[in-house]
Amino acid sequence: MTRRMLVAVLALGGVFLAAYLTLYHYGYVGSLACGTGGCEKVQGSRWANFLGVPVALWGTGYYMSVFAVATAGSLGPWVERRWPSGALVFLNGWGVLFSAYLTWAEVARIHAICRYCVVSAGLVVVLFSLSLLDLRDYRRAPK
């Protein structure tokens, strides 16, 4: 499997993780709980929305974009093209920055850590690293 393919597979996992958090945000999953759980606190905080849209929904859109670009770049005519690598680095670069901002908010503002958010942040870092390696390989490859 190429690195792009791996990015596509991991991003698809991310789609489901973010979709779960979106459903949680809207109350379709999860349960009433004693607020010791970081996720309840994080999801209930004002940081759970960005520009009026739940952060989890932003995350779903982000993972879907990464999945679409990586899949398109892994199959058919775009396999040999370099632009999907550049697009993945761009998307995942934003993903890393946004995750860093959210992690800062959890630690410094909300004072709670949601384990799903930690998993997502780790996933984003892995996606970004794979995208960088993929771009490097395409740069080195003979034209």
Partner 1 sequence: MAKPVKKKPSNSRFVGTIVLVAVVGVAVLGYAVSRPRAGVKPVDPSLAAGTAEGYLVGNADAPVQVIEFGDFECPACGQWATLTEPDVRERLINTGLVSFRFYDFPLDMHKNTWPASNAVACAADQGKFLDMHDRVFATQDRWNGEATNNPKKVFLQLAAESGIDTAKWEDCFDTQQHYPRIKANLQEGVRRGIGQTPTFIIGTKMIPGNIPFDEFRKYVDAAAAEAAQAAKATPSKP
| Site residues (vs partner 1, CB under 8 A) | 1-2, 5, 8-9, 12-13, 15-16, 19-20, 23, 27-37, 40-41, 44-45, 71, 74-75, 79-80, 111-112, 137-138, 140-142
Q: How far is the CB of 74 from partner 1 (least distance, A)?
A: 6
The separation between the first and the last C-alpha atoms of the chain, rounded to the nearest angstrom, is: 21
Q: How far is the CB of 97 from partner 1 (least distance, A)?
A: 26
Measured from the CB atom, the residue of 57 and 94 that comes closer to partner 1 is 57
Measured from the CB atom, the residue of 32 and 51 that comes closer to partner 1 is 32
DSSP 81-140: -SHHHHHHHHHHHHHHHHHHHHHHIIIIII----HHHHHHHHHHHHHHHHHHHHHHHHHH
Tokens of 69: 């670009």
Q: How far is the CB of 43 from partner 1 (least distance, A)?
A: 9
Q: Could you give the CA distance from residue 105 to residue 9 in angstroms, rounded to a whole number?
A: 28
